[in-house]
Amino acid sequence: DLAQELMRLRSLSLSNDTHFVPLWEATSQCLRCAGASPELAHVATVLLPLIESFMVVYKPVLAEKSRMADSGGGSSVQISPMSVAPSAGETYFQNFTERHKKILNTLVRNNPGLLSGSFSLLVFNPHVLDFDNKRSYFYQRLHDDSAGAGGSNNRRALLLGQGGTGGGLGQPATVAGQQPPSAGAHTHHHHAGQQRPLGQTLHLNVRRETVFEDSYHQFAGQSGEEIKRGRIHVKFRDEEGVDAGGVSREWFQALARQMFNPDYALFKPSAAGRVTYQPNPQSWVNPDHLQYFKFVGRIIGKAIVDQRVLDAYFTRSFYKHILGRKVDYRDMEAIDPSYYKSLEWILENDITELLEETFSIEVDDFGQHRVVDLIPDGQNVNVTEENKAEYVRLVTLQRLYLAIKDQIKSFLTGFHDLIPRDLIQIFNEQELELLISGMPDIDVDDWRNNTEYHGGFNSGSAQIQWFWRAVRSFDQEERAKLLQFVTGTSKVPLEGFAHLQGNQGVQKFQIHKDFGSPTRLPTAHTCFNQLDLPLCESFDTLRANLLLAISECSTGFGFV
């Protein structure tokens, strides 16, 4: 079959538009054959010039999409840059690249420079690139001088193939004899007129018990570029430790603990297990709260730049704000599970003559109650069956964004001082958590031994046996994403899965039988660490559906 497809490829030409689709289909069939047999894996490398041709042909389509997104995105955190409706050409491109995701990632893994050249279109397709390839590209761009330009121009340059180390069509993606920049490499420059040459050591002398405030004051006089390029050197006052890397790691961890200190009132724990955090809408009780949020944004940005893992986990909605993506009512479950259930009930039921709500909400500020209108004169506009969807949208917007928009804005000001806005958007919410907090070390045996089964499932059920077989076959990233999908975070308690936290305290991992269609995707309820598993008819189907669910449903909700 492969020989026949290769012969058909030779009969096609790029000189005529009518030949394009047959050419890509023949290429696709060859890639399918290569992907099905490990001994044919080298064929993908042989076909690389054709794959690059495919990328070049579709660059104008994706470049136009980028221009439309840039002109329509505005400045609101609530607007996603990927919200422009796909064209037929873009849909074909997405289908092709997602169909051959595994081979494309292998090619990139073997030659990272492709992402800065002919494969640059893949950077902004969130479903194709694996996390390790995104992360490698991210650090290459972050520490490259051209990343300093930031913004939409970088994205447009990538789409037009005008940046980075990637080669042209059919050419090596790196110059012979050169290696792409390492993920941890820093490029230092000295600019006239600045108080501190970029790349110079940033000396911090702090007290352990007040490390947050001391670090805040010592960072206050530094620019974002100085912090980004500088090497942190920490001295804990009255301690003998010499910072050869270990003290600064300890400093990052101490800061991560203190930024969530309730005395600062910056963040409050979510309802989902109390291990993830959300900006506190009442942080204004701290008069310096907005400057503190900017500092926290800089610290998390610096930890990312220096590849330091932080024990800091946020709600999915806050990760969405960092990425500039929309929140929806389902994100409310992690903040207020009972309120989420009431919103879900409103959407799923006819509320005619059953609900007495208006387009307003009541807010409690330390005992002082006030009413916030969701629309002008909202207190006098009733929620009806016809307008209930708009009510749910507006109340979600108020609670998850408008109530904390100043805190979010200040955090992002500090964060973007170090991390370019467009560059961080190559990740999804799950991947951003892994970038900040690291890949967890998951003990599958401990996980399995501390799992409860409900609805007729038991440890001997076929679907349960297949589930654990699938989990063992997953790589580290896939296991982390499964844990995120079901519990809302990749964090594993220090004491193990026996101490997994839920809405009401310790709540073990649960698998419930889903009596719906066997073709449904698995769904999850993060507040209860609950996975609803359909009665799939084979191991292969269960594994494929589980992977699809954790990849496509990053907020923890499956598709019907």
Q: What is the pLDDT of residues 11-31, one digit of tens each?
A: 654 444 556 788 888 889 989
Q: Is the pLDDT of residue 422 over 60?
A: yes
Q: Is the pLDDT of residue 289 over 70?
A: yes
Model confidence at 381, pLDDT cuts 50, 70, 90, reads very high
Written as six digits, the tokens of 537 are: 């008819």
Within 230-358, residue ranges assigned H as helices are 246-258, 289-305, 316-323, 337-348
Q: Which of the two residues, 244 and 199, has the higher pLDDT score?
A: 199
pTM: 0.78
Model confidence at 116, pLDDT cuts 50, 70, 90, reads confident
CA 506 and chain centroid, separation: 27
Q: Is the pLDDT of residue 104 over 90?
A: yes
For the segment 289-303, the average pLDDT, to the nearest whole number, is 95
Give ∠ CA 361-362-365 in degrees, rounded to 5.
135
Which residues are annotated as catalytic?
527
Contact indicator for 508, 486 with CB cutoff of 8 Å: no
Instruction: Report the alpha-carbon distance of residue 557 to residue 226 in Å, rounded.
Output: 41
Instruction: Report the alpha-carbon distance of residue 322 to residue 305 in Å, rounded.
Output: 16
Q: Is the pLDDT of residue 189 over 70?
A: no
Q: Is the pLDDT of residue 214 over 50?
A: yes
Model confidence at 4, pLDDT cuts 50, 70, 90, reads confident
CA proximity to 359, closest of 325, 384, 330: 384
For the segment 371-400, the average pLDDT, to the nearest whole number, is 93
What's the pLDDT tens digit per position in 487-518?
888 888 878 899 888 777 788 999 999 988 88
Instruction: Report the alpha-carbon distance of residue 114 to residue 346 in Å, rounded.
Output: 49
Instruction: Report the alpha-carbon distance of residue 522 to residue 499 in Å, rounded.
Output: 24
Across 316-433, where does the E strand assignment appear?
Answer: 360-365, 368-373
